[in-house]
Amino acid sequence: MLQAVPAADERDENWPFTVERATPAIGVYVGGINLREPLGEPACLALRRALIRYKVLFFRDQDITPAQHVALAQRFGKLEVHPVFAHHPDHPELVLFDKSGEKRGHENIFHSDVSWREVPSMGSILRCVECPRVGGDTIWVNMALAYQKLPEDVKTRIANLQAVHDMLPLFGKVLSPEQRVSVRARNPPVTHPVVRAHPESGEKILFVNEAFTTHFANYADTTAFRFGFDLKLAEMDLLQYLFRQAAAPEYQVRLKWEPNTIAFWDNRAAQHYAVQDYYPAVRRMMRATIIGDRPV
């Protein structure tokens, strides 16, 4: 059985909004709240609790301005400025995803945003500005559930493993050689535990992703081997096995975007995948990313 979650349309007595489950594993549609208005402290705390419980929150018909988008995200923490993506001209905290026949998207890989930072993000708030009528969905994955359902022998094998996360293998292709040197100097590879603990819920989370995790930092220290090639092949097999957990539909939710739909996800506990099936249609999005904590 999957991890137990509250029933559909459950209304917590302390929450000034409604929630309706999107799937048994992850995600709810939030109603009865207007994100154009400044969030009071009770609503902000309730949304944070809902985020921790459900991993991703969906809001329809939220026609907010870029300034309101930034203000909303700032209620949950300090915001980052991405070193590679295009920014809004008046709000550098807002990343712009502007895809069309002239620019194809390449976010179609399961990933956790900025896991390559020493302090990855707590969460992201993404708003749809314009999207095709069909296509361009996004998938999110409950990586706490993915860890929970691992075989016990695998949990034992990965309990003390550390993994290296690096931005350049994915982002290097869009940078000039000079930019790569500059970006690398400011963003060297970092090491995080393969299994991190959620700082608020205490859940154990499988924290590797195929976009940014390159290898284990200490695999040789934890594994007996005869030859070097045995070691490397076994390491790659284990890492690929862990990557594949995100692809299980039982751990996922898929959102069909509409203009002014907002998704707010817990980047510590969820991975996502932007489906690139809409080219050459236009898909324009804005994202604010909230700085998190060092994984432990």
Residue 6 resides in a domain: no
89-121 pLDDT, tens per residue? 999 999 999 998 787 877 899 999 999 999 999
Based on the domain organization, do 173 and 128 belong to the same domain?
Answer: no
| pLDDT (0 to 100) of residue 171 | 86
Residue 10 resides in a domain: no
Residue 32 resides in a domain: yes
Based on the domain organization, do 114 and 180 belong to the same domain?
Answer: no
Residue 217 resides in a domain: yes
| pLDDT (0 to 100) of residue 280 | 93
Based on the domain organization, do 80 and 226 belong to the same domain?
Answer: no
Residue 9 resides in a domain: no
CATH number at residue 157: 3.60.130.10
d(CA 99, CA 280): 8
pTM (predicted TM-score): 0.92
Based on the domain organization, do 162 and 114 belong to the same domain?
Answer: no
Based on the domain organization, do 208 and 238 belong to the same domain?
Answer: yes
Based on the domain organization, do 185 and 119 belong to the same domain?
Answer: no
Number of domains in the chain: 2
Residue 196 resides in a domain: yes
| pLDDT (0 to 100) of residue 4 | 35
Based on the domain organization, do 24 and 78 belong to the same domain?
Answer: yes
Do 193 and 146 touch, CB atoms closer than 8 A?
A: no
Spatial CA neighbour of 83 closest among 202, 213, 171: 171
Based on the domain organization, do 65 and 95 belong to the same domain?
Answer: yes
| pLDDT (0 to 100) of residue 7 | 38
DSSP 8-state secondary structure symbol assigned to residue 8: T
| pLDDT (0 to 100) of residue 65 | 97
Based on the domain organization, do 171 and 235 belong to the same domain?
Answer: yes
Q: Kindly list the catalytic residues.
A: 111, 113, 272, 287
Pairing type for strands 138-142 and 270-274 reads antiparallel
Three-state secondary structure call for residue 215 = strand
- Spell out, as residue ranges, where the chain has pLDDT lower than 70: 1-13, 226
The tokens for 226 are 């005869």
* Distance spanning both ends of the chain, measured CA to CA: 28
Based on the domain organization, do 130 and 263 belong to the same domain?
Answer: yes
Residue 5 resides in a domain: no
| pLDDT (0 to 100) of residue 2 | 36
| pLDDT (0 to 100) of residue 10 | 52
135-184 pLDDT, tens per residue? 999 999 999 999 999 999 999 999 999 999 999 988 888 888 888 888 88
Residue numbers of the domain that contains 45:
18-137+254-269+278-291
Based on the domain organization, do 236 and 258 belong to the same domain?
Answer: no
